[in-house]
Chain A
Amino acid sequence: MARILLIEPDKLLAETYAEVLRAEGHQVVVRAGAQAAVTAADEARPDIVVLELQLVEHSGIEFLYEFRSYAEWQKIPVIIHSQVPPAEFMGSQKILKHELGVNTYLYKTRTSLRELAAAVKELLVVEA
């Protein structure tokens, strides 16, 4: 079982994703925005972060810069699970991977719940 910080702005999707991840035995903390997610990370001490990039006010990328600026969060695996197609980050792969430590990029519209749960599991196995 892992503690997952799920940053998802759409309430209905957040409920669906959280329920599926909880059914896998994980503890899930859901936040809709970047600012609230930073605070939640401090309290929840997540083992893994699942992040949408399109958020209100501050983007997911801004969240990542803030998140990675703290030493204790530099090694926490991050899955981007976003409406933004990965092709839009073709030129920024190095930044995402090496600077921001993104482990996996999932295009939300093409990713099933099973695939999301499998991606979380895979990263937890690698980190263990």
Chain B
Amino acid sequence: MMDASTLPVLSQELLLSMAEELKLPLLQIARHAEQTSLSGTIDPVRIQTIADSALRLVDNYVLGVRLALEPEELLGESVSVSSVLYDVGQQLDALAKSYGVTLELNIGGRYGPVLAHRKGLQAALTSLGAALIEALPAQGSPQLKLYLATHRSRYGIVAGLYADTKQLSNQALQRGRQLQRSSRQPLTSLTHTSGAGVFLADTILHAMRLKLSTSRHHHLYGLGTIMQPNHQIQLV
């Protein structure tokens, strides 16, 4: 068993960030309910989407904690990145629609499987995606479009989420990690929230011995992670 204080996913900073983040969906639901009592019209789809997204964030956090506490659960498996991105897109679809963001899968090319923990990878990318969906309209981006994409780089297979506006620099991400304790908005160039989704993705990937970093995909900017191809499977 690892010492809990050394595990970022169990850090007080991430808990603080999660608590701040969860205020937003609760506030959205509370005010929507109040609005309903004033106007008499209710949008059940909106309430369901907001609640589902908040529950997913909590679920992903729980998965991250479990993976950190039981590293033996982290045995790598052969994972198709395209299929993970497809599932992430499915999970984020309703939230994206409610924020007016178009999701587009860009998984052209055959890269073969990678060695990763499927559930962990999906949880990290879903948390990241939800954070970026909420952030895009707040950035005043003229085009509200988020690409779930994969490509091959000289370091491995990259999977990430991209938009046409500059998201974060590696320095801003690093500074954000350091500011998590003291600032209620540590990723100020990216999001108006505590950025819990980004930090959760960061810590789940860290538990999987992967790294969240800034990434380019064609002319787009984003955040992603690099994984190694599973050559054994490819040989078979």
Contacts and interface: CB of A to CB of B under 8 A. Distances in A.
Nearest to B37: A113
B24 A10 contact: yes
A16 interface: yes
B99 A54 contact: no
Interface string A100-117: 000000001100111000
Nearest to B31: A16
Interface residues of B, number: 30
Interface in B120-161: 134-135, 137-140
A36 B141 CA distance: 11
B35 A54 contact: no
Interface in A11-33: 11-13, 16-17, 19-20, 23, 31-33
Contacts of A10: 24, 28, 134, 138, 192
A78 B139 CA distance: 22
Given A16-B35, A56-B192, A113-B38, A9 B184 contact: no
Instruction: Report whether over half of chain B's contact residues are helix, strand or loop; otherwise say mixed.
Output: helix
Contact of B35 (A19, A83, A109): A19
B34 A23 contact: no
A84 B188 CA distance: 14
Nearest to A34: B140
Most buried by B among A36, A56, A109: A56
A13 B139 contact: no
B136 to A, nearest CB: 9
B28 A23 contact: no
Contact of A13 (B20, B28, B188, B191): B28
B50 A12 contact: yes
B190 A13 contact: no
B66 interface: no
Interface string B47-78: 00010000000000000000000000000000
Interface in B179-224: 184-185, 188-193
B53 to A, nearest CB: 11
Given A9-B138, A13-B31, A55 B50 contact: no
Given A33-B138, A33-B140, A52 B192 contact: yes
Most buried by B among A10, A35, A112: A10
A17 B35 CA distance: 9
A20 B38 CA distance: 8
Contacts of B192: 9-10, 52, 54-56
Contact of B137 (A32, A83, A113, A114): A32
Interface of B: 20, 23-24, 27-28, 31-32, 34-35, 38-39, 46, 50, 98-100, 134-135, 137-140, 184-185, 188-193
Given A19-B39, A113-B35, 14 more contacts: A9-B137, A9-B138, A10-B134, A11-B99, A16-B28, A33-B138, A33-B140, A52-B192, A55-B192, A56-B189, A56-B191, A59-B188, A83-B24, A114-B34
The 3 A-B residue pairs with the shortest CB-CB distance, nearest first, are A9-B138, A9-B192, A11-B137
28 contacts: A9-B138, A11-B100, A11-B138, A12-B32, A12-B46, A12-B99, A13-B24, A16-B28, A16-B32, A19-B35, A19-B39, A20-B38, A23-B38, A23-B39, A31-B140, A33-B138, A36-B140, A54-B184, A55-B138, A56-B135, A56-B139, A56-B188, A57-B139, A57-B189, A83-B27, A83-B184, A108-B27, A113-B31
